[in-house]
Chain A
Amino acid sequence: MSKRNSLFGLAGAWALAGPALAHHSFAMFDSVAEIVLQGTVTEFQWTNPHTWIELDVPNGTGEVVHWSIEGGSTLGLSREGWHRTTLQRGDKITLVAHPLKDGSHGGSLMGVTLANGQHLGASIRPATPAK
């Protein structure tokens, strides 16, 4: 094979210039409703296929409610400025999420505001909601 016929000799990666299929259905989340949670991070799972934020949220009556929020993959989030240490146990954060439809304490991350005021997107929200 000649060099002439090496179309792909460019080093680095390639990315589809168009929308992608989601890793899984997001039908369990209410894609219209938004909840705002202010709480304390108990664990940040920097994992695939998705990251998870475990959060203790005071409910205003002296009780603490635990929430599990699903974020984008490490691939997606790292390219939006996230890092495995972006959230640490004990961090006070505010996040916005689409809640689970069944009312249990979970959601799909839309964005987070850190204690220092920095805002980070979620890299998980479908751009074209499923009909």
Chain B
Amino acid sequence: MDRQDGKDVAAPGRASEESDAALPMYLQAPVFKGEYEAERKKIEALSRKGTPVEDSGAMCLPQGMPAFWGGPYAFEILQTDKQINISQEWNEQTRRIYIDGRPHPKDYDPSFNGHSIGHWEGRVLVVDTIGIRAETKVAGAHHSDALHIVERIRQSAPDALEVEMTAYDPKAFQQPWVAIYPLRHKPDMELQEYSCEENNRNQVDEHGVTHATIAPK
């Protein structure tokens, strides 16, 4: 289904072991270890109950990396000699990838999208990202502060980009997590404004349950 139609999929982490294989790679959780696997199972169980924990979307928080490429709406990519900015319509998000040769900062304050530097390997843009805040999710589950993401972004067809992402987290994953995000060019589409705080009538209570606010009669 095309994201661009604005349709959404409710897929909180691994919906079920059976349906997992049918999901695209970016919605399939990594193979976790230790406490991270226990946490993933807890999140999965609560999602099945209909009380997903930490519904950051309903709280209007950015999804951050690596879920940034999950949209859910349109992206815009603008490039200068110094950097590439990627906007995502949902909640006015912007990633900045510095391509001027600078290194990562020594003591970067973690952010939702982390700090990204890129370089070209032929026609492939290779992006290295560190400093991702602990509350972002990898396919719906938690990562550690060691999360390090490498993306290889290439034009796979005249109207298509492919983002091949490898996420390394030796504290949380048994092996690196690989996901491929296919993007399609929408030449006639303009990004629109989207303020998540404009009229958010979906509140998350202390039990993680999302509610809809019904107007009084």
Contact = CB atoms under 8 A, between A and B. Distances in A.
Interface of A: 1, 4-29, 45, 47-50, 52, 54, 65-66, 68, 70, 72-80, 100, 104-106, 123-131
A13 B189 CA distance: 6
Contact of A23 (B5, B72, B182): B72
Given A14-B77, A126-B9, A23 B58 contact: yes
Contacts, number: 247
Q: How large is the interface on B (under 10, 10 to 19, 20 to 34, 35 or more residues)?
A: 35 or more
A125 to B, nearest CB: 7
Given A74-B192, A131-B48, A52 B75 contact: no
Nearest to A31: B10
Given A22-B9, A23-B90, A49 B120 contact: no
A47 B2 contact: no
B5 A76 contact: yes
A106 B216 CA distance: 11
Nearest to A106: B214
A80 B5 CA distance: 7
Contact of A14 (B55, B72, B161): B161
Contacts of A48: 194-196, 198-199
